[in-house]
C-alpha cells in the first residue's frame, strides 16, 4: 500500500469511533442478488462476533430519524452527539462532512467480539461488556475522493506506529482516553478499525481466507428473507456466543442442559427501516443445521382481536397456549435471568388452588388464546380502573368446565368467595365475588369453544355480544401491528394510556425517555418452516413539533 494512503488512518480511527457511537445509540430505537442483501463487511467480520450492527451512512436517513421524538429528547440526543463529535473529530481537527463523507460507502458495520476469540490460551474467560473488543468496517465507495482527502489530510500530533502483518500495513496509536486504536486498508476497498490489535489481525485473516459472518450456516438465506430496500440498519446476534456469555456470567449459573438447548439456535437477525410514522423491524431466527430440534409449523392465530373492544390498551395473542408454555419451560432452563421460573409458577399455583397447572388447566388450552388489558367504563365510578381479560379457545369444553368448577370450589372453601350465575346477551356467566362484596372476576363462554375470564373492572357487557367496533378494526391497531398471514401470534400495546394506568418498573436505562416518544408497539410472529421463525415489529413514534 502506498505510504501516502496511510495518512487517512488517524481520521478513519476517529470517525469510526463516532460512527460506532451513533450505531449503538440508534440501533435499538433499524437487490439483485444475495451478496447485495448481506451487510457490508460480512466477509470481514469473524464468525465469533457476538453482535454485529450495520447502519446506513446516508444523511437523508439520519435526518428522517431525527424527525421522531420530542423537543426534550431531541435536545438530549443532540447534546450527546456533539459531545462525541468534539471528542473524536473536532478535537483532532477533522470534519466528517469534509474529510470522511466524500469517500465512505452507504453502510458501516460495527461488531463486538468476546475476548475468548482473541487468546486461544484463555480458558473459561469472564465475558463482560468492558473487555469485549470492537471492530469497525468502513467501505471505500469513491477512491478518487478518498485519494484527494488523504493527500490533503491535516498533520496530527499523535504518534503513529506502522507495522506489517502478512503484507498488510497496520497503523496503531495511543488514544487520548488510553485506548489503543488499530487500523488497516484492505485492497483499497475497506478500512477496518479496532480497539484491539489482535482483532485487526483477525479481520485481515478472515478477509483473505477465514470463516466470516457470511459463511455462518443459514446466515445468507436468513438475511435474504428479511431483506428490505433502503434499510437503515441491520442487526445480527450470534446466539451460541450469547449463550456462552450468559454461562460465564459470575452472577448467574446457567443450567448446562438448558444451555445446550439454547445453542441449538444459530442466530437472530433484524432489518430496520425508517417509516413515515416510526421504525419497522423485520426479523428472523433460525436453528443450527446440526440441531435435532424442529419448529412446529402452526400458524393459527388471528381471531381474538375481533373479540376485544376497540379501547383495549394491550393484547397478546397466540395460536397454542399449551405449546407456548412448553417452549417457555425449555427456554427458561437456559436463561438464568428468567423472571418467573416454571417450577415456581407450578408450585405457587398448586399451593393456592390445589390444582395441577399442567394437567388441570393447560391440558385443554391447546388452541388460540389472548391476554388483554381493557380499561373500565368511564360512565360510572368503578372499584378497578382496568380489567385483565384471558380468552382461550378449546376443543374440550367439558374438561374446561370441570377445571373451572374445581377452581370455584377452592375459592369458596379456602377464600370464602361467592359464585353467582347471571344471564347476559343470552349467555350464562359466573361472577366470583370476594368476601367484602366486590366483584373481582367473571367467567363464561363467548361461543361454544371460547372461554373467557375477566379480572378487575366489570367489562363483560363489552364482550357479550361480540363488539361491532373491535380492536382489529381500529386504525391504530391496523397501522401498528405488522401483517404476516398466516401468523402464530400478535402483540399490541397502546403505550401512553397503559403507562399512565400501570406504572412500569425500571427495566432499561433511559426507559422513561423511550416510553415518552413511543405511541404504540405492534408485533407479529409466524413459523416460516421447521428451521426458522419470522418476527415483524413496528414502533410508532412521536414526532418533533
Domain presence at residue 361:
no
Give pLDDT, residue 179.
61
Dist. CA 13–CA 40, nearest whole Å: 18
| pLDDT reading at 177 higher than 70 | no
Give pLDDT, residue 35.
45
| pLDDT reading at 98 higher than 90 | no
Q: Would you place residue 420 in the very low, low, confident or very high pLDDT band (cuts 50, 70, 90)?
A: very high
Q: Which residues contact 371 (CB under 8 A, 6 or more apart)?
A: 315, 316, 317, 388, 389, 390
Dist. CA 407–CA 441, nearest whole Å: 12
Nearest partner of 204 among 190, 219, 214, 215, judged by Cα: 190
Both 179 and 71 in a single domain? yes
Q: Would you place residue 16 in the very low, low, confident or very high pLDDT band (cuts 50, 70, 90)?
A: very low
Both 127 and 189 in a single domain? yes
* Chain segment 84-96, per-residue pLDDT in tens: 666 556 655 567 7
For residue 115, give its domain range: 3-273
Give pLDDT, residue 144.
87
Domain presence at residue 196:
yes
Dist. CA 268–CA 261, nearest whole Å: 15
Cα atoms in the 13 Å half-sphere on the side-chain side of 295: 22
Give pLDDT, residue 307.
95
- 271 close to 534: Cβ distance less than 8 angstroms: no
Both 217 and 314 in a single domain? no
Both 308 and 218 in a single domain? no
Give pLDDT, residue 480.
96
Nearest partner of 538 among 30, 25, 7, judged by Cα: 30
Give pLDDT, residue 181.
77
End-to-end CA separation in angstroms for the chain: 50
Q: What length does the chain have?
A: 545
| pLDDT reading at 339 higher than 50 | yes
* pTM of the complete model: 0.83
Q: Is 165 helix (H, G, I), strand (E, B) or coil?
A: strand
Both 196 and 306 in a single domain? no
Dist. CA 472–CA 227, nearest whole Å: 28
Q: Is 515 helix (H, G, I), strand (E, B) or coil?
A: helix
Dist. CA 266–CA 90, nearest whole Å: 41
Domain presence at residue 96:
yes
Q: Which residues contact 144 (CB under 8 A, 6 or more apart)?
A: none
* Chain segment 32-86, per-residue pLDDT in tens: 344 457 889 999 999 999 999 999 999 899 889 888 987 777 777 777 767 766 6
Domain presence at residue 8:
yes
| pLDDT reading at 492 higher than 80 | yes
Both 209 and 310 in a single domain? no
Both 375 and 518 in a single domain? yes
Nearest partner of 100 among 43, 15, 168, judged by Cα: 15
Give pLDDT, residue 340.
80
Both 124 and 236 in a single domain? yes
Phi, psi of 162 (to 5 degrees): -110, 135
Q: Would you place residue 9 in the very low, low, confident or very high pLDDT band (cuts 50, 70, 90)?
A: very low
Domain presence at residue 475:
yes
Q: Which residue, chain included where needed, has cell 399449551? A: 322
Query: Once rounded to an integer, what is the mean pLDDT over residues 453-470?
Result: 92
Overall number of domains in the chain: 2
Query: Once rounded to an integer, what is the mean pLDDT over residues 227-241?
Result: 90
| pLDDT reading at 176 higher than 60 | no
- DSSP assignment, residue 155? P
| pLDDT reading at 544 higher than 90 | no
Domain presence at residue 347:
no
Give pLDDT, residue 343.
92
Both 193 and 58 in a single domain? yes
Give pLDDT, residue 193.
85
Give pLDDT, residue 84.
63
CB atoms within 10 A of CB 277: 17
Burial of 525 (0-12, 13-18, 19+ CB in 10 A): buried
| pLDDT reading at 252 higher than 70 | no
Give pLDDT, residue 128.
40
Give the residue, 441 or 336, on which the prediction is more confident: 441
| pLDDT reading at 164 higher than 90 | yes
Both 20 and 128 in a single domain? yes
> What sign has the CA pseudo-torsion 365, 368, 373, 374?
negative
| pLDDT reading at 383 higher than 80 | no
* Chain segment 185-216, per-residue pLDDT in tens: 999 999 898 888 899 999 999 999 889 999 99
Both 167 and 47 in a single domain? yes
Both 312 and 232 in a single domain? no
Domain presence at residue 51:
yes
Give pLDDT, residue 150.
67
* Chain segment 357-375, per-residue pLDDT in tens: 999 999 999 999 999 999 9
Phi-psi domain of 116 (left: phi exceeds 0; alpha: psi -120 through 50; beta: other) = alpha
Element (H, E) at 83: helix 71-88
CB atoms within 10 A of CB 540: 19
| DSSP letters for 399-468 | HHHHHHHHHHHHHHHHH--EEEEEEETTEEEEEEE-TTS-EEEEEEESSSSEEEEEEES--GGGTSSPPS
Give the residue, 90 or 340, on which the prediction is more confident: 340
Helical H runs in 89-152? 143-151
* Chain segment 104-135, per-residue pLDDT in tens: 899 999 999 987 666 543 333 333 444 688 89
Domain presence at residue 335:
no
Mean pLDDT for the chain overall: 81
Give pLDDT, residue 405.
94
Give the residue, 503 or 263, on which the prediction is more confident: 503
Cα atoms in the 13 Å half-sphere on the side-chain side of 310: 9
| pLDDT reading at 392 higher than 90 | yes
Residue 221 CA: distances (Å) to CA of 241, 242, 287, 290, 526: 20, 21, 12, 16, 17
Q: Which residues, in sequence order, are bridge partners of residue 53? A: 110, 235
- DSSP assignment, residue 7? G
Amino acid at each position: 500500500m502506498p505510504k501516502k494512503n496511510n495518512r487517512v488512518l488517524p481520521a478513519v480511527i476517529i470517525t469510526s469511533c463516532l460512527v460506532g457511537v451513533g450505531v449503538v445509540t440508534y440501533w435499538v430505537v433499524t437487490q439483485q442478488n444475495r451478496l447485495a442483501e448481506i451487510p457490508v463487511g460480512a466477509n470481514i467480520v469473524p464468525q465469533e462476533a457476538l453482535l454485529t450492527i450495520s447502519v446506513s451512512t446516508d444523511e437523508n436517513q439520519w435526518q428522517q430519524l431525527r424527525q421522531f421524538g420530542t423537543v426534550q429528547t431531541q435536545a438530549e440526543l443532540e447534546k450527546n452527539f456533539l459531545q462525541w463529535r468534539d471528542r473524536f473529530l473536532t478535537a483532532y481537527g477533522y470534519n466528517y462532512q469534509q474529510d470522511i463523507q466524500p469517500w465512505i460507502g452507504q453502510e458501516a458495520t460495527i461488531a463486538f467480539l468476546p475476548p475468548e476469540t482473541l487468546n486461544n490460551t484463555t480458558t473459561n474467560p469472564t465475558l463482560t461488556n468492558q473487555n469485549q473488543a470492537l471492530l469497525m468496517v468502513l467501505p471505500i465507495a469513491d477512491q478518487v475522493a478518498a485519494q484527494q482527502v488523504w493527500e490533503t489530510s491535516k498533520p496530527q500530533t499523535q504518534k503513529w506506529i506502522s507495522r506489517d502483518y502478512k503484507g498488510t500495513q497496520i497503523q496503531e496509536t495511543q488514544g487520548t482516553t488510553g485506548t489503543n486504536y488499530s487500523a488497516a486498508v484492505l485492497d483499497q476497498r475497506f478500512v477496518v478499525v479496532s480497539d484491539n490489535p489482535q482483532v485487526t489481525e483477525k479481520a485481515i485473516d478472515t478477509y483473505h481466507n477465514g470463516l466470516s459472518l457470511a459463511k455462518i450456516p443459514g446466515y445468507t438465506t436468513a438475511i435474504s428473507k428479511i431483506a428490505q430496500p433502503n434499510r437503515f440498519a441491520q442487526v445480527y446476534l450470534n446466539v451460541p456466543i450469547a449463550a456462552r456469555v450468559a454461562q460465564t456470567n459470575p452472577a448467574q449459573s446457567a443450567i448446562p442442559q438448558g444451555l445446550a438447548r439454547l445453542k441449538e439456535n444459530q442466530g437472530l437477525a433484524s432489518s430496520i427501516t425508517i417509516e413515515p410514522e416510526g421504525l419497522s423491524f423485520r426479523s428472523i431466527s433460525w436453528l443450527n443445521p446440526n440441531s435435532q430440534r424442529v419448529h412446529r409449523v402452526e400458524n393459527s392465530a388471528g381471531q381474538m382481536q375481533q373479540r376485544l373492544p376497540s379501547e383495549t390498551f394491550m393484547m397478546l395473542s397466540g395460536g397454542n397456549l399449551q405449546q407456548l408454555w412448553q417452549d417457555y419451560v425449555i427456554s427458561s432452563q437456559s436463561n438464568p435471568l428468567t423472571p418467573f421460573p416454571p417450577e415456581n409458577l407450578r408450585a405457587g399455583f398448586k399451593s393456592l388452588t390445589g390444582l395441577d397447572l399442567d394437567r388441570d388447566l393447560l391440558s385443554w388450552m391447546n388452541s388460540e388464546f389472548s391476554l388483554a388489558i381493557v380499561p373500565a367504563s368511564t360512565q360510572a365510578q368503578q372499584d378497578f380502573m382496568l380489567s385483565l381479560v384471558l380468552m382461550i379457545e378449546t376443543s374440550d369444553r367439558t374438561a374446561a368446565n370441570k377445571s373451572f368448577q374445581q377452581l370455584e370450589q377452592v375459592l369458596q372453601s379456602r377464600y370464602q368467595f361467592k359464585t353467582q350465575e347471571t344471564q347476559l346477551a343470552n349467555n350464562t356467566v359466573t361472577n366470583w365475588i370476594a368476601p367484602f362484596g366486590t366483584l373481582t372476576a367473571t367467567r363464561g363462554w363467548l361461543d361454544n369453544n371460547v372461554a373467557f375470564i375477566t379480572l378487575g373492572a366489570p367489562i363483560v357487557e363489552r364482550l357479550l355480544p361480540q363488539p361491532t367496533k373491535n380492536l382489529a378494526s381500529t386504525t391504530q391497531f391496523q397501522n401498528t401491528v405488522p401483517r404476516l398471514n398466516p401468523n402464530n401470534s400478535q402483540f399490541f400495546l397502546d403505550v401512553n394510556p397503559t403507562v399512565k394506568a400501570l406504572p412500569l418498573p425500571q427495566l432499561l436505562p433511559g426507559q422513561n425517555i423511550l416510553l415518552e416518544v413511543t405511541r404504540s408497539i405492534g408485533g407479529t410472529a409466524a413459523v416460516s418452516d421447521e428451521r426458522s421463525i419470522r418476527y415483524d415489529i413496528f414502533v410508532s413514534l412521536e414526532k418533533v413539533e
